Amino acid sequence: MFTSVKAFEGQQYSTLKRQCLQSGLLFEDPRFPATDDTLFHQGNRIGRVVWKRPRELCEDPHLFVDGISAHDLHQGQLGNCWFVAACSSLASRESLWQKVIPDWKEQEWDTEKPDSYAGIFHFRFWRFGEWVDVVIDDRLPTVDNQLVYCHSNDSNEFWSALVEKAYAKVYGCYEALDGGNTADALVDFTGGVSEPVDLLEGQMATDEVARNQLFERVLKVHNRDGLISCSIRATTVEDMEARLDCGLVKGHAYAVTDVRKVRLGHGLLAFFKSEKLHMIRMRNPWGEKEWSGPWSDSSEEWNKVSKSEREKLGVTVQDDGEFWMTFDDFCQYFTDLILCRLINTSYLSIHKTWEEEVMRGSWVHRQDPLRNRSGGCINHKATFLQNPQYVFDVKKVEDEVLICLQQKEKRATPKEGKGENLAIGFDIHRVELNRKYRMHSAQQKVAGSIYINSRCVFLRKELKEGRYVIIPTTFDPGQQGDFLLRVFTDVPSDCKELTLDEPPQTCWTGMCGYPQLVTQVHVLNAEGLQGQDSNGDPYVIITCEGERVRSPVHKDTRCPNFDIKGLFYRKKPKEGIHIEIYNKNMIVDTFLGQVILFSDPNERQEQHTLHLRDKGSRQDNDLPGTLTVRLVTSTTLTNI
């Protein structure tokens, strides 16, 4: 994961620390100075701030006191519960926080080697497809000798305050963290993919089957070291941070710190009894104000669980902000869930391995329609297909595909008036099996994301074998920005950008000819095929001027719905297009019949239902079975 780490703003931690140790001076970061500009967009809002180093706040500072945990974090005078909740989740994953806090033992204050302290620290975040190493000094903002922002339970523990400062540096100032999306922070800490789940839309409170399926997904993400957050949606300004009678807070991000199936009963009965509760544990970043309903810290429900089980779950009766709920109650009260899954791409893992394709692109507005790459969403039919286009293949009969579109962060430049994200999204179209030039007319749309002005949009979709084109767009045409497209499939998808509008002219064009006609061949279905078996395994091959397109095999049918397309740029329009049908056999495939089509260049669309014919005899003989084919033909090569 860290084969390549980029120094943020060109600041190399090791070089800067060595210079400080040689000079005997503590590091003062010129890129993030101890001034009000580092704190605020538009002037001081909290009074006189004094910047102090940890040794000015306590005698024995440490990064960690008794290890690292979710209880180390308390939100300060900043509306960044989204960030603190993400940090709480991070703290529960040693393998993850050690990547965000690299060389933590070397960075720790060493009482035996006081001369190794240089007032400099560094942290790592995943930003727009790459890990960046962020250097900071350890001067922290205080009022009345107390830390203004994120702090720990222990007055001499500083990891949370220092991570927050490094994150604020990436965003430009502390105030830029006021209000945000937990999903963004989870991705920044892991390089994973965040999937939002709308519990209301999914009717999780009332649909028991859907709720149980969701719990298994949440449990799997948790068990595979993913990070999870949740919240109760606030629909009005008055609702923001309003406390419900049950103790939960609206418009507030919670960290999910554990997910379990809890065994009920005591002693041997607990082992033989099959009843288990689906349970989820959360933490309020405020470090207080917990759930007060069933299974809260001191509720009588815990008497149903053995003492050893309670100890294993870490049940404590104190107002520390952390509490358990049943998943049923969770779905009753919470409205939004964020699953940040770590996409496993290691072939050495025992878990599912994904194939990842990463594409970088830009929405660029130009006047020339063939060069414009900012066409807006599908509502803008005249310009939609002018957006960037990316083709990929699904090579299994059916495959689960994960797609994440991320725009380049704009919150990091609020002082330039560019703090708002664009509303972005994408559509997926099923295209011809041999599509290699840009789409110029709409094809079959099979899926699409929501459009939202968040940094990332995500879609999980089961797709059938075939070729697809992803069209990432802004909601409105003419908007410009950079984006990162990530595609995850079970087998390599060969994802790449479609850049050419039509076959290029070469030095051989004059001698070999240039396409005069483009024809889309759509084989819809076949009926009554007569094979060796009552139900065969047919497939179809389309051949035109030496280029072949082969469909997937359709199992156990005499009436396959092929629904495949091929696209052919034709230099010899008078030559026929051959469509052959075979039955898949273990040794030699059986020929079932063919048709030869001659398209009419003057006919834009035409559909044929044809009898299959033999190809072995001198005179074609009709065979049992028919084939339905649709042709779309154009003499303008950029019309399909």
Q: How confident is the model at residue 417 (pLDDT cuts 50, 70, 90)?
A: very low
Q: What is the mean pLDDT of residues 301-309?
A: 80
Confidence check: pLDDT of 371 > 60: yes
Specify whether the CB–CB gap between 498 and 469 falls below 8 A: yes
Q: How far apart are the first and last CA of the chain?
A: 41
Strand partners, 583: 538, 590
**How much is the pLDDT for 2?**
45
More confident residue, 488 or 303: 488
Spell out the SS3 assignment of 116-136: HCCCEEEEEEEECCEEEEEEE
Q: How confident is the model at residue 49 (pLDDT cuts 50, 70, 90)?
A: very high
Confidence check: pLDDT of 636 > 50: yes
What span, in angstroms and rounded, lies between the C-alpha atoms of 237 and 180? 16
What span, in angstroms and rounded, lies between the C-alpha atoms of 352 and 334? 30
Q: How confident is the model at residue 315 (pLDDT cuts 50, 70, 90)?
A: low
Confidence check: pLDDT of 311 > 80: no
412: left (phi over 0), alpha (psi -120 to 50) or beta: alpha
Q: How confident is the model at residue 349 (pLDDT cuts 50, 70, 90)?
A: low
What span, in angstroms and rounded, lies between the C-alpha atoms of 424 and 454? 8
CA atoms within 13 A on the CB side of 521: 31
Confidence check: pLDDT of 345 > 80: no
Backbone angles phi, psi at 551, to 5 degrees: -85, 165
Q: How confident is the model at residue 341 (pLDDT cuts 50, 70, 90)?
A: confident
Q: What is the mean pLDDT of residues 524-541?
A: 83
**Arithmetic mean of pLDDT over the chain:** 89
Backbone angles phi, psi at 270, to 5 degrees: -65, -30
Crossing angle between the packed helical segments 159-171 and 81-91, to the nearest 10 degrees: 130
Q: How confident is the model at residue 321 (pLDDT cuts 50, 70, 90)?
A: confident
Backbone angles phi, psi at 90, to 5 degrees: -60, -40
**How much is the pLDDT for 499?**
97
Q: How confident is the model at residue 53 (pLDDT cuts 50, 70, 90)?
A: very high
Q: How far is CA 574 from CA 194, 204, 469, 599, 635, in A?
A: 53, 59, 30, 8, 13
Among residues 101, 165, 96, 102, the alpha carbon closest in space to that of 137 is found at: 165
Q: How far out from the chain centre does Cα 372 lie?
A: 27
Q: What is the mean pLDDT of residues 164-177?
A: 94
Confidence check: pLDDT of 200 > 90: yes
**Stretch among 10-14, 344-348, 517-521, 588-592 having the lowest mean pLDDT:** 344-348
What span, in angstroms and rounded, lies between the C-alpha atoms of 410 and 83? 17
Confidence check: pLDDT of 159 > 90: yes
Contacts of 257 (CB under 8 A, 6+ apart): 70, 88, 89, 92, 281, 282, 283, 322
**How much is the pLDDT for 238?**
82
Q: What is the mean pLDDT of residues 376-398?
A: 96
What span, in angstroms and rounded, lies between the C-alpha atoms of 166 and 87? 13
What span, in angstroms and rounded, lies between the C-alpha atoms of 13 and 121? 8
What span, in angstroms and rounded, lies between the C-alpha atoms of 352 and 343? 9
Q: How confident is the model at residue 242 (pLDDT cuts 50, 70, 90)?
A: confident
Backbone angles phi, psi at 560, to 5 degrees: -70, 140
What span, in angstroms and rounded, lies between the C-alpha atoms of 583 and 538? 4
249: left (phi over 0), alpha (psi -120 to 50) or beta: beta
**How much is the pLDDT for 84?**
87
Active site residues: 81, 252, 284
Q: What is the mean pLDDT of residues 406-425?
A: 74
pLDDT digits (tens, 9 = 90+) for 62-116: 999 988 877 778 888 888 888 988 998 898 888 899 999 999 989 999 888 888 8
Q: What is the mean pLDDT of residues 194-202?
A: 93
**How much is the pLDDT for 486?**
96
Query: What are 75's two structure tokens?
Result: 């939100």
Confidence check: pLDDT of 15 > 90: yes
What span, in angstroms and rounded, lies between the C-alpha atoms of 123 and 137? 11
Backbone angles phi, psi at 157, to 5 degrees: -110, 130
The rounded percent of the chain whose pLDDT value lies above 90 is 64
Specify whether the CB–CB gap between 538 and 553 falls below 8 A: yes
Confidence check: pLDDT of 344 > 50: yes
Specify whether the CB–CB gap between 227 and 189 falls below 8 A: yes
Q: How confident is the model at residue 434 (pLDDT cuts 50, 70, 90)?
A: very high
What span, in angstroms and rounded, lies between the C-alpha atoms of 62 and 158? 6
pLDDT digits (tens, 9 = 90+) for 543-600: 999 999 999 999 999 999 999 999 999 999 889 999 999 999 989 999 999 999 987 7
Q: 481: burial class by Cβ within 10 Å (0-12, 13-18, 19+)? A: middle
Specify whether the CB–CB gap between 427 and 155 falls below 8 A: no
Specify whether the CB–CB gap between 121 and 105 falls below 8 A: no
Strand partners, 452: 424
